[in-house]
Amino acid sequence: MIIKRIITTLLLATIVLGVSAQDKGRMHAHQQRLAALIERVATAPTDNERYLASEEAVGVLATALAEEESERWQWQLPRYASVLTSPDGQLRLFTWAVVRDNGEFECFGAVQFYNDKEEEFQYLILHDKSEEILNREESLLSADRWFGAVYQEIIQTQMGERPLYTLLGWNGVDNLTERKIIEPVILKGGIPQFGAAAFRRERNLRRIVLEYTNDAMVNLAYEQQTVQEVQRERVKVKGTNRYRTIEKVKEHKERVIIFDEVEPQVPGMEGLFQYYVPSGLELAYAFVDGKWELRSGAQGRLKDKKLNKPFEPIEKTAPSYKF
């Protein structure tokens, strides 16, 4: 009887391992095909070839994400594509861009997520509608109506009872401008919602869009900074019963989203983003009590390295690009 149980256990283990190896084999094949297509998206010589490669890449990715093994798969794709997974493993984003011959960009990708209502991992294809969205900083969006970006970083925090995922992204736009984007995402009803109301004292703000001339270097990063914060205190005037308010500048270190403020080079150019450049002021969003809080009195300072981190996934002068 004991020998029979051992044999049965070994047989079951062999079957399980065989299925697991089979799953891994399929995922590896999907990954190889997707990697080749992403390479083609970046290097093909014509618009038509680049778009055909991107469309096929979306199809291969959809097939791969339908596999049970996909949520555990450690993706290795060319530097032309970004794959980001949240620390809790509940959200994963795949993004890349097609660069047209005229210099215009269109972003593609997919989002994989755990739907707690259905108790399973699901995925949605992302559809870039950024040029159709008028109130781009105030609009609540979905995978079908997505403000396209190639994402650089995912930050996980907690907003109330649900996780908040804040994405930092980039879009080359066209020959005149570029964008950097702060995009808060929540899973509501089990489905990703792009543009969570996660900014304190900015009720209608759902994302930050920095658009500026493509000749400018604009920083957007999440990192530990030495932050200066102005604090006001009431102190008693010596020898009297009167009080006065004084300001003290205090320094401390914290992880913040730090970015360059952008503004028109000259008055009267408001809304013409090809004339926007960094103002010289660095701003920071710190996460406080479930919301991103703008530290207008804060100034991030880096002593040992340059403020501008490399974040140019796409070359403007050619269809190939690197992350």
Residue 299 pLDDT: 57
- Number of Cβ within 10 Å of residue 58's Cβ equals 20
Structure tokens, 83: 């794959």
Structure tokens, 241: 């019963």
Amino acid, single-letter form, for residue 178: E
Helix (H, G, I), strand (E, B) or coil at 13: helix
- How large is the C-alpha radius of gyration of the chain? 24
- Number of Cβ within 10 Å of residue 88's Cβ equals 10
Phi, psi of 102, rounded to the nearest 5 degrees: -85, 5
Task: Identify the CA nearest to 87 among candidates 153, 152, 156, 151.
Answer: 156
- Number of Cβ within 10 Å of residue 231's Cβ equals 10
- Long-range contacts of 153-157, Cβ-Cβ distance < 8 Å, separation of 24 or more: 153/84, 153/221, 153/222, 154/84, 154/85, 154/86, 154/91, 154/93, 155/222, 155/257, 156/86, 156/87, 156/88, 157/287, 157/290
**Residues 6 or more apart in contact with residue 223 via CB below 8 angstroms:** 255, 256, 258
155 touches 257 (CB < 8 A): yes
d(CA 115, CA 131): 29
In Å, how far from its chain's centre is CA 135?
20
- Beta 177-188 vs 191-194: how paired, if at all? antiparallel
pLDDT of 304 over the 60 cut: no
d(CA 198, CA 297): 20
- Beta 91-99 vs 276-288: how paired, if at all? unpaired
Taking residues 102-127, report their average pLDDT: 97
d(CA 195, CA 146): 10
229 touches 252 (CB < 8 A): yes
pLDDT of 3 over the 60 cut: no
Average pLDDT, whole number, for the chain? 86
State pLDDT tens for residues 223-264.
Answer: 887 766 677 888 888 888 888 888 887 777 788 999 999 999
DSSP H or E segment with residue 53: helix 47-65
Residue 295 pLDDT: 79
State pLDDT tens for residues 16-33.
Answer: 344 477 888 999 999 999
**Residues 6 or more apart in contact with residue 310 via CB below 8 angstroms:** none
- Number of Cβ within 10 Å of residue 8's Cβ equals 10
State pLDDT tens for residues 188-233.
Answer: 999 999 999 999 988 789 999 999 999 999 999 998 877 666 778 8
State pLDDT tens for residues 116-127.
Answer: 999 999 999 999
Of the ranges 12-16, 23-27, 271-275, 309-313, the best mean pLDDT one: 271-275
In Å, how far from its chain's centre is CA 199?
16
